[in-house]
Amino acid sequence: MHVDNLPVGSHAAPPQGDRTPSPAPPVVTARRVTRTYGRTRALTGVDLDVRAGEVLGLVGHNGAGKSTLMRVLAGLEACDEGTVTVGGQEASRDVAPGTGPFRAVRMAYQETSLCPDLTVAENIWVSSRHCLPRLGWRRAASRAVARRLDEMFPSHRVAPRDRIEDLSLAQRQMVEIVRASLVDRLELLILDEPTESLGPDAARSLYAYVRRLTAQGTAVLLISHRIREVLSVADRVAVMRDGAVVAERPAAGLGEQDVLALMGAEVVEPTATPAPARAAGERPVVATLRGATGHGLHDVSITVGRGEVVGLAGLAGQGQQQVLERLWRPVRRDTTVAGTRAYVPGDRQRSGVLPLWSVAENLIVTAMRGLARYGVRRTGAEDVAVRDWVDRLAIRGGADAGMTELSGGNQQKVIVARAFASTADLVLLDDPFRGVDVHTKTDLYTLIRQEAAGGRSVVWYSSENAEMAHCDRVYVLRAGRVVAELTGAEISEERIIAVSFAESESTGAQR
Residue ranges of the domains in the chain?
Answer: 26-263, 280-339+425-510
Q: CA nearest 361: which of 417, 399, 387? A: 399
pLDDT given at position 8: 33
Q: Interhelix angle for 120-128 vs 137-152, to 10°?
A: 100
Cβ neighbourhood burial of 397 (10 Å; 0-12, 13-18, 19+): buried
Per-residue pLDDT reduced to its tens digit, 258-286: 888 888 754 444 444 444 444 445 679 99
Fold of 26-263: Rossmann fold (3.40.50)
Per cent of the chain over pLDDT 70 is: 87
Per-residue pLDDT reduced to its tens digit, 456-492: 999 999 888 888 999 999 999 988 899 999 998 899 8
Q: CA nearest 415: which of 366, 485, 453, 455? A: 366
pLDDT given at position 93: 60
pLDDT given at position 375: 82
What gap in Å lies between CA 438 and CA 61, rounded to an integer? Answer: 8
Mean pLDDT, rounded, of the chain: 83
List, in sequence order, every residue forming a beta bridge with 318; answer none if it has no partner.
none
Q: CA nearest 361: which of 398, 407, 393? A: 398
- Please tell me the class of the 280-339+425-510 domain: alpha beta
| 308-347 residues labelled b (16+ CB within 10 A) or e (exposed) | bbbbbbbbbbbbbbbbbbbbbebeeebbebeeebbbbbbb
pLDDT given at position 125: 92
Quickly state the pLDDT bin for 77 (edges 50, 70, 90): confident
What gap in Å lies between CA 47 and CA 65, rounded to an integer? Answer: 13
197 within 8 A of 153, measured Cβ to Cβ: no
Whether the CA torsion 454, 460, 463, 467 is positive or negative: it is positive
Asked whether residue 246 carries a pLDDT value surpassing 90, the answer given is yes
Question: Which of 285-289, 308-312, 355-359, 423-427 comes out lowest in average pLDDT?
Answer: 355-359
First to last CA, the chain: 42
Per-residue pLDDT reduced to its tens digit, 23-72: 578 899 999 999 988 777 889 999 999 999 999 999 988 778 888 899 89
Domains 26-263 and 280-339+425-510 share a fold: yes
pLDDT given at position 65: 87
What gap in Å lies between CA 65 and CA 42, rounded to an integer? Answer: 5
List, in sequence order, every residue forming a beta bridge with 81; answer none if it has no partner.
34
Asked whether residue 452 carries a pLDDT value surpassing 80, the answer given is yes
**Where is pLDDT greater, at 414 or 475?**
475
Predicted TM-score (pTM) above 0.75: no
